[in-house]
Every structure is written in structure tokens, then in C-alpha cells.
A and B are shown apart, each in its own frame.
Chain A
Amino acid sequence: GQQLNQSPQSMFIQEGEDVSMNCTSSSIFNTWLWYKQDPGEGPVLLIALYKAGELTSNGRLTAQFGITRKDSFLNISASIPSDVGIYFCAGQWQKLVFGQGTRLTINP
């Protein structure tokens, strides 16, 4: 079945640093989505990408849909304490397939 490899699994950074995480797959997707999940809550949609090569920003977040349609990355610039949480990539063809998540911890 379809699987997503998300890396890194965890990140420990200083406040103000930039963050980069990515997802790769052996399968092609027609949509890539990035979510953030806080403890005990449902995932919150951050960015949706619909076209290969598309680069989209949402405030300090920037994500790109890979040209091969098999990968995507998410960058967070100038991290702040509220960025702490688990970030999930998700690829959609007919159903939504999630990566394993990247846990972001910020040292003040």
C-alpha cells in the first residue's frame, strides 16, 4: 500500500531558528497537505498543494509540491514557541495517507 516517509522524526531547535521537514513516497499523489497537531486535539490544516511544482506560503510557513509528485517539504521561518507540536504531511490520491509525523520542540 501507499506509505509516506516523513523526516526528521523529531527536531530540537532554538527559538528564532528556521525549520525544514519533508515527505517522500514511492507513489504519486495529486494533492499534498500539511497539518499540525497539538496534544489531545485533531490535526489542523496548514497548507494545501494541488499542482506539481507549486510553492505556497501561509505566514511564516512555506511548502512545495515536488515536481515528481512523490514528495513535498515544509519550511517554518523564525520559529516561535507556539510552533511546538507534531507536523504531519499527507498525500491524497483517492484517500488521504499520512506520514509518521515530525515532533518539533523549541528551546527558549
Chain B
Amino acid sequence: DAGVTQSPTHLIKTRGQQVTLRCSPKSGHDTVSWYQQALGQGPQFIFQYYEEEERQRGNFPDRFSGHQFPNYSSELNVNALLLGDSALYLCASSLARYFEQYFGPGTRLTVT
């Protein structure tokens, strides 16, 4: 039973560029949530997708956007990258919106 997978593992971008991160949920899960984790901090909620729609959003600017596909996989897009966007981006999946979330290994984004 495959767990949550994310790609790529690492990414280096330049300020002002755009980036797309990808996530495949655990088998049988239909809800995907995205988190940003800065070094030494707990994960911060970005947004959650269910039935291909954004259902909840944390305190992140509109530069952060996402998408969920019919197969429940998801993408996180960040536009106009800032140095402060450097972080570990985590994807988590769950069976329905209010059940426990299982995390992927993350994508380490470095903005230079």
C-alpha cells in the first residue's frame, strides 16, 4: 500500500520564479492538504483540497495556489518566489476532510 508521495525531493529556484510541487495521496484517500515548514518550526497549514475544490485556506498570500485532479492527486503552485518561501513543503492526505492526516516526505524548496 503506497503512502503519500511527493515530487520533486529537492528544488532550487531564483527569486521571482514560479514553482510547481506535486503530491499523490495515500491509496483510498480523497483529501489533500499542503503545509509549509520552516526550519525549526512546526508545519503551517496552507490549504486543503477536497472534491477538486479548495475547502480551507491558512494565512498565505494569493501567490500560493493549488489544484486537485480527478484522481485526487494535487499540485501546489507558488508564484513570484521570495527568499522567505524557502522551506520544506509537506503534503498530507486523509480519508475525508476531518480524519487523521498522513504526510509525505516533503519537497525541500530553496530560493536564492
Contacts and interface: CB of A to CB of B under 8 A. Distances in A.
Given A1-B59, A42-B104, A95-B56, A101 B48 contact: no
Contacts of B58: 95
Interface in B92-111: 92, 98, 100-106, 108
A72 to B, nearest CB: 14
Contact of A44 (B48, B56, B59, B103): B103
B110 to A, nearest CB: 13
B42 interface: yes
B105 A42 contact: yes
B45 A43 contact: no
A45 B102 contact: yes
Contacts of A73: none
B50 to A, nearest CB: 12
B90 interface: yes
A50 to B, nearest CB: 9
Nearest to B101: A96
A30 B98 CA distance: 9
B42 A31 contact: no
Given A42-B105, A95-B58, A96-B33, A48 B100 contact: yes
A30 B100 CA distance: 11
Contacts of A98: 42-44
Contacts of A48: 100
Contacts of A1: 59
Contacts of B98: 30-31, 92, 94
Interface of A: 1, 4, 6, 30-31, 33, 35, 40-45, 48, 88, 90, 92, 94-101
11 contacts: A35-B103, A40-B106, A42-B104, A43-B90, A44-B103, A45-B102, A88-B43, A95-B48, A96-B43, A97-B45, A98-B42
